[in-house]
Structure 1
């Protein structure tokens, strides 16, 4: 992407033009378990990490754009705006919540907690303008939200005490769900990507994943995870190692949701060029045959998935994760819709 740097807070809210229609089943009404109407929210447009497979890196988006002037107040004001449009829950789609900066996360959570406790007539006018009636105020009081963090943020870049404190603040502000990218539980795979920072002798990546998951669960938060197959170093043995180790975390009730994904090539990412796919990507041709087993994974279809995986490997991943992870597995298969519905 090319263009001048922008303050995301100066741009119009997307939901000023588009209705909030999503219902994210991780957020539910306590009395009925009905999924809540969920707004998606970003306070930054890119990721500070440089994973070679990912198109969200700041390196590919001309820098990291985020809320600048009075970032905390602007973000909380936008929360109130989304509540006024009928949002009952929020998911922060930033690759890493507030770019992983604990001071910003803490300040945001403190301010959100404060206004949730404040009588409506005592609120700052910039918040009160969006909380015009009792329904809006009730949605603020009962707000549920979730955000994405990383294993490194939780256990490598901060102490366990600092991470526990920030997760506690998130929960007090209404957070119920944290999502992290595990990617792989195999050392031979993780050695090839820009994660597993500050590696410690004798402490493999899978132990850091377990430590991060434990921190989240100790605060009573739900934990969702993303697992990615087909990275450099992947073999059938590393696939089975990852499936088994993630299964152990599920058995130990440290993971509530595990999403298996197949590496999909995106333009300009290092892995796309390294695998010789930079001039062979075709996402739009009508000849594309999206079929099983590809439909069981988000974004995966023939000709744009990892060249390191055969179709038999993909079937194997589908069947084994379905069997080993059970109800914790997130299935991306499309739901059939009857004509006229």
Structure 2
């Protein structure tokens, strides 16, 4: 609904635009008083402190959802295809470490996933969190940028805290593709070194690859597969480039068409 509220409003009694930590309680109060509004819009970035721990005991039959946790929200980068800056307020925030640890400790199973958009975005915060996380003896995965994995101390702490694999947003093995993605901080010539570094720390790599940039040629699938095999990528999540409303990529399309 946040990305296309006008369309969603045609099919709902009430819609929520943006982050809902403050608007959802407001709606519940209005609903009980029989004065629910049509639209609730997040006007400011809500604090991530003191958020309630999910009632995971109410989730039946889906172990994956029961093991989802987030320690931060947002991302400091501005990739052209990414909808984060439209969904969230354009500010990167972290949860108090004690809150995150309490949340993780409440998960009944040993495995979980950090649902952060960029778990290594604030390395000092992440390092402090990992030191406390190591005490829980859990196993986990997270999404990070490739260049953040150049920090040896961060990788060492991640492994000692139970990291099994990291999702790296490589996106493309084409310089023009990375330029189209506004992701010039990715350096293709460093991909192999980063992969070797992660493997030395015993961490597997799930690469995020995007197909469909204007610069992609008909052999992009074949060349990408070869490049991934050459540097030892363990798995790939392939996505089709989608110009979501409000993203930089969509705005560029409108400018070219206009």
**What whole-Å deviation, never above 9, does each CA across 1:296-339 have from its counterpart, x for those lacking one?**
xxxxxxxxxxxxxxxxxxxxxxxxxxxxxxxxxxxxxxxxxxxx
Task: State yes or no: 1:234 paired with 2:255.
Answer: no
Q: TM-score, normalised by structure 1?
A: 0.57
Name the CA distance, whole Å, in 2 between partners of 1:10 and 1:21.
28
Give the 4+ runs in structure 1 shifted more than 6 A: none
1:109 to 104, 121, 130: 130
Counterpart Cα distance in 1 of 2:197 and 2:245: 35
Match of residue 227, structure 2, among 234, 245, 259: 245
Q: Secondary structure at the match of 1:104?
A: helix
* TM-score, with structure 2 as normaliser: 0.74
What is the 5 A alignment of 1:110-129? Answer: 110-113=131-134, 116=135
Which of 200, 219, 235 is the matching residue for 1:218?
200
SS in 2 for 1:14: coil
- Give distance in 1, aligned partners of 2:148 and 2:77: 11
Partner of 2:139: 144
Is 1:264 equivalent to 2:251 in the alignment? no
List runs of 5+ in structure 1 lacking aligned partners. Answer: 25-36, 117-139, 156-162, 200-204, 278-341
Aligned: 1:7 with 2:47: yes
**Paired residue total:** 215
Residue 52 (structure 1) aligns with: 80
In the superposition, relative to structure 1, how do residues 170 and 247 fare at CA in structure 2: closer, same or farther (>3 Å)?
Answer: same
Matching of residues 1-341 of structure 1 within 5 Å: 1=18, 2-15=42-55, 18-19=58-59, 21-23=61-63, 39-57=67-85, 61-64=88-91, 66-68=93-95, 71-82=96-107, 86-98=108-120, 100-113=121-134, 116=135, 140-141=136-137, 143-155=138-150, 163-197=151-185, 205-249=187-231, 254-276=232-254
Give unmatched runs, 5+ long, in structure 2.
Answer: 1-17, 19-41
Q: Which structure ranks higher in relative contact order (CA pairs < 8 Å, sequence separation ≥ 6)? A: 2
